[in-house]
Amino acid sequence: MRADRLVAVLLLLQSRGRVTAAAVAAELEVSLATARRDLEALSAAGVPVYPQRGRGGGWSLVGGARTDLTGLTSGEARALFLTAGPATADPATRSALRKLVRALPGTFRADAEAAAGAVVVDPARWGDRERPRSELVTRLQEAVVARTPVRIAYASRSGTRDRTVEPLGLVAKDDVWYLLAGTPAGRRTYRVDRVGHLETLTGRFERPVDFDLTREWQRVVDEVESRRALTTAVVVLPTRHLPVLREQFGRHCTGARELGGGRTRCHVAAPTPLDLARTLAGWGAGLEVEEPPAVRHELARIGRELAGRYG
């Protein structure tokens, strides 16, 4: 689109100070005549761009005029390319990164190029092939951007039924994609791998002005994690094993306090006493559950079942 080219030309002028029509044509992969027309169009539109004739001439921004489009600090540029770098397997992302590098001020360019190649993300587990992003995710992403409602066939515990939703954002967590959407009953979260069918509807919806995807997802996470911590147990174990317990329970292992003698007391949480007992049973006598009685009862029951089966 011509508007995209005009923005790109303006970015080049800002980052380089002065450019020739030939340089613009080479950078944007257009003809020399097109580059000249774009430069003249910027000037005619009121952008302070002027040509300087003769040897060493070119097009410049009057008085070093600037736009905020590339007003990045050095640290911001590095952070941007470190984030985008792992996605460089995608052709569109590679193309966008190349254009951004060309638009950056020269002092930032080397750091940005280095940052883009500093991280590689390999999503495939050992022994597995990389799984491509599903078509559903791509179509939902398009609906989020275009603000078009969709009808999905969604499988839940109560069965599969059609739901009409307004897609507000997508989140990938631990190889699982989630759709955050508006519904007549309020905002809801759906696992994309439970969507059996997707139909894009006509029309557009208004995105809520107060919606922030990061903040909304944190609210969802907090709500889910609160349901996973309905039962808390107080346990005592060797201090050297505390990192293993923390790895098992994550944010639900808290309040660690050393007791002396190489022992530590802490709190662990799970949805039910049975869930806690099933996890803690693997520790055997290496960990003691002080309370609550319900978890101790489940551990004793599991122990009796194992003794009865294996003698």
Give, as one character, the DSSP assignment of residue 238.
E
Rounded CA separation 265/255 (Å): 8
Assign a CATH topology to domain 135-226.
SH3 type barrels. (2.30.30)
The pTM score is: 0.62
Name the β-bridge partners of 114: none
Domain ranges of the chain: 2-68, 72-116, 135-226, 228-310
Contact indicator for 233, 292 with CB cutoff of 8 Å: yes
The answer to whether 117 and 173 are in contact (CB under 8 A) is: no
Question: What's the length of the chain?
Answer: 311
Q: Which residues contact 155 (CB under 8 A, 6 or more apart)?
A: 194, 195, 196
pLDDT at 68: 46
Question: Any idea which architecture 2-68 has in CATH?
Answer: Orthogonal Bundle (1.10)
Asked if the domains at 135-226 and 228-310 fall in one CATH topology, the answer is no
Q: Collect all residues with Cβ–Cβ distance below 8 Å to 221 and sequence separation of at least 6.
A: none
The H-or-E segment that residue 190 falls in is strand 186-191
pLDDT of amino acid 121:
65
The confidence score (pLDDT) of residue 9 equals 78
Mean pLDDT by 10 residues, the chain (311 residues): 66 77 84 85 74 75 54 63 64 70 66 68 71 82 91 90 92 87 92 92 90 90 90 96 94 94 95 95 94 96 93 80
- 3-state secondary structure at position 162: strand
Q: Are 215 and 169 in contact (CB under 8 A)?
A: no
% of the chain beyond a pLDDT of 90: 43
Q: In a 3-state reduction of DSSP, which class is residue 246?
A: helix
For the chain, how big is the Rg over CA atoms in Å? 29
Helix segments in the chain, DSSP class H: 2-16, 21-28, 32-44, 74-84, 91-103, 106-116, 135-146, 213-227, 242-249, 273-280, 293-310
Task: In whole angstroms, give the CA distance from residue 12 to residue 29.
Answer: 13
pLDDT of residue 293: 96
Provide CATH code, domain 228-310. 3.30.70
What DSSP assignment string belongs to 25-81? HHHHT--HHHHHHHHHHHHHTT--EEEE-STT-EEEEGGG---GGG---HHHHHHHH
